[in-house]
Amino acid sequence: MVAVHSTMCYFATVALGLCCPIFALDNLCNQPTEALASTDWQSIKPSHFPFEVMFSDPAGWNGVDRVFGTGEHLQARWRNAFPFLVPTMVQSFEGANTLTPIHNPSPVFYLHATEIASFSPPFDAGKVRLLRLKVRHDHREVPVSKGITKFTFAAGPPSRFLVPISVRRLSQTLMEIRPRDPLAIGQYLIAIGNQENEGFEFEISCGH
């Protein structure tokens, strides 16, 4: 009976767009319990690292995994046909997904710094960015240059990989980060300062 119900549920979902119990992740997104805004941010323990990104869940505070790039490479798909085009510099990250899934399309994160690191230039609300990573088989990547000709070339990710966010400073050592709009399913990186070769990775596992 369970098999019959699951089969009917599957076909109903595919053909009619109905919601069925086998897609329980939808409930986690519709009524998220993690990565919510918290008034208890003062309970975040002092960081042992210069920077940490945290989010809340019913059990308490969790850290977002920090990741380092595995290298950069040039991407020049059309340069043979158009020699005046400038190759794009692309930063790669190991693995096709992260170990930090977030079941909330509108997550709220808290960037925490040590007292000393909080005075460093990277700990600036204007230098915190949320990047959308592109999955490429066994790795993820993000362009770190923009412009297709020598006249338009510039450093930094293209705008289509930048996710609009709101950053609010709560104290000398803490900032609140939240996307302005619900996030699509996919891989993301919170980058600090002008560095795109490292950051804090997470995955939106359900949503829009």
Same domain as 8, residue 91: no
On whether both 4 and 93 belong to a single domain, the answer is: no
Indicate the number of domains in the chain: 2
Q: Both 195 and 125 in a single domain?
A: yes
Please list the residues that pair with 155 across neighbouring strands.
Answer: 145
Q: Are residues 136 and 107 located together in one domain of the fold?
A: yes
Q: How confident is the model at residue 205 (pLDDT cuts 50, 70, 90)?
A: confident
Question: Which of the two residues, 4 and 143, has the higher pLDDT score?
Answer: 143
Domain residues for 197? Answer: 32-204
Residues 12 and 74 in one domain: no
Q: How far apart are CA 38 and CA 60, in angstroms?
A: 11
Least confident of 47-61, 146-160, 165-179: 146-160
pLDDT tens digits, residue range 63-118? Answer: 999 999 887 666 665 555 555 567 778 888 999 888 889 999 999 999 999 999 99
Domain identity same for 92 and 22: no
For residues 64 and 144, state if they share a domain.
yes
Q: What is the DSSP string of 57-111?
A: ETTEEEEPPEEE--EEEEE-SSTTT-TTBPPEEEEEEESSS-S-EE--SS--EEE
pLDDT-derived band at 6, boundaries 50, 70, 90: very low
Average pLDDT value over all residues in the chain:
80
> Domain check: are 14 and 44 in the same one?
no
Q: Closest Cα partner for 203 from 143, 141, 132? A: 132
- Is the pLDDT score of 121 beyond 60? yes
Q: 25 and 36, same structural domain?
A: no
Instruction: Give the dihedral of Cα atoms 46, 52, 55, 61; nearest 10 deg.
Output: -30
Do residues 117 and 149 share a domain? Answer: yes
Q: Is the pLDDT of residue 199 over 50?
A: yes
175 and 115: one domain?
yes
Q: Are residues 114 and 14 in the same domain?
A: no
For 172-191, the pLDDT digits (tens) are 999 999 999 999 999 999 99
